[in-house]
Amino acid sequence: MSAQAPWKADIAPYAQASVPRSAVDLLTSVVPYLALMALQMWMLQSGISFWAVLPLAIPTAGFLLRTFIVFHDCTHGSFMPTKRGNHVLGALVGLLVFTPFQTWRHSHAMHHATAGDLDRRGQGDVPTMTLEEYQAHDWPMRLGYRAFRNPVVMFGLGWLWGLVIQPRLVSKDARPRLKRSTWITNLVLALVVTGLCLLVGPGTFFGVQGPAAALAGATGVFLFYVQHQFEDTYWENNATWSYTDAALRGSSYLKLPQPFQFFTGNIGLHHVHHLSARVPNYNLQAAVDNVALFDEVPVLSFWDGVKASRLKVWSPDHGRLLTWAEVRELRQAAMPAAATTS
């Protein structure tokens, strides 16, 4: 698959924002999310047991995920027809998902520009070592990498880093506008959270916000992981790297049943999104259904995605991601050869 102009013409009809469709997205994401948050706070304030209210965290998390997809599309300039509309709405929705608009837009654009490029790793993607790099590191580094790639850590705690801690941090090397975006977002969030804690009490606020954020965040980390971390994904050195191949071979089609595809805002159709980030989430399925280019792409089921969590390091020689068991086998096979050579 090479980067030919024709695919741009094929996708162009779907890379069009629609105000009515965007309005429907807002009515089925931000509005029910805020309504469910308010309902749960009211229930707790009315003396209803926390355990009776807790099940509502599940649909709340689902609508929070959809809200993040609205924010995500705004950062790509694909949700609203105008740049200003995407910027204003994205900055506002960014407060609901605890993320500074400008900062995240920059890092995510870098991710799209470098996905699958071994020489430009580390820009908004899941840290991935090659087999050679892993074996060359000392044991503390290998231990840290193994801990990070452990599903319990990645999916159980990763959301706390990605959603709560990392967006609060300001890099000293960041551009001024990115620093301002983070500072302003942090300040507004501090004021809003403080105000809500004074209004309903910290126990009520965090008792409602915490479970929803944890569920949505853990699901979001899983989705982000399986989008590029599957066995036969695409990694190439910069000299042979192809944007089109990285999108079509290195970005998965996570085929989810309804209502999961609804709550995840079609983000499982990631191959389409990486080929053209200008396609809004509400047009992704139509693009898959009508553009022949997408007929042969890596398709993952939910369980395929779960099994992909076993994959740890990239082997250029094998052209795929390996499990720890495979890494051990390769190391043991290399030991007799090394002993014979010595």
pLDDT tens by residue, 287-326 = 999 998 998 787 899 999 999 999 999 999 999 999 999 9
| CA distances in angstroms from 264 to 25, 28, 70, 223, listed in the order given | 12, 12, 11, 9
| Rounded Cα gap, residues 264 and 241, in angstroms | 29
Domain residue ranges of the chain, discontinuous segments joined by +: 18-337
> What would the two tokens of residue 95 be?
């407060």
| Rounded Cα gap, residues 216 and 264, in angstroms | 10
Q: Which pLDDT belongs to residue 156?
A: 92
Cβ neighbours of residue 50 closer than 8 Å, sequence gap 6 or more: 44, 207
8 Å CB contact between 324 and 311:
no
**Residue (of 75, 65, 73) closest to 36 by Cα position:** 65
Digit-coded pLDDT (tens) for 329-340:
988 887 665 555
| CA distances in angstroms from 38 to 20, 29, 44, 70, listed in the order given | 26, 14, 10, 20
| 24-30 mean pLDDT | 98
Q: Which pLDDT belongs to residue 6?
A: 75
The reported pTM is: 0.93
Q: Which pLDDT belongs to residue 298?
A: 78
- What does DSSP say about strands 253-254 and 299-300: parallel, antiparallel, or unpaired? parallel
Lowest-pLDDT range of 27-36, 74-83, 117-126, 139-148: 117-126
User: In this structure, is the dihedral angle defined by the CA atoms of residues 5, 104, 130 and 156, taken in order, positive or negative?
Assistant: negative
Helix axes of 57-75 and 202-226: crossing angle, nearest 10 degrees: 60
| Rounded Cα gap, residues 297 and 311, in angstroms | 19
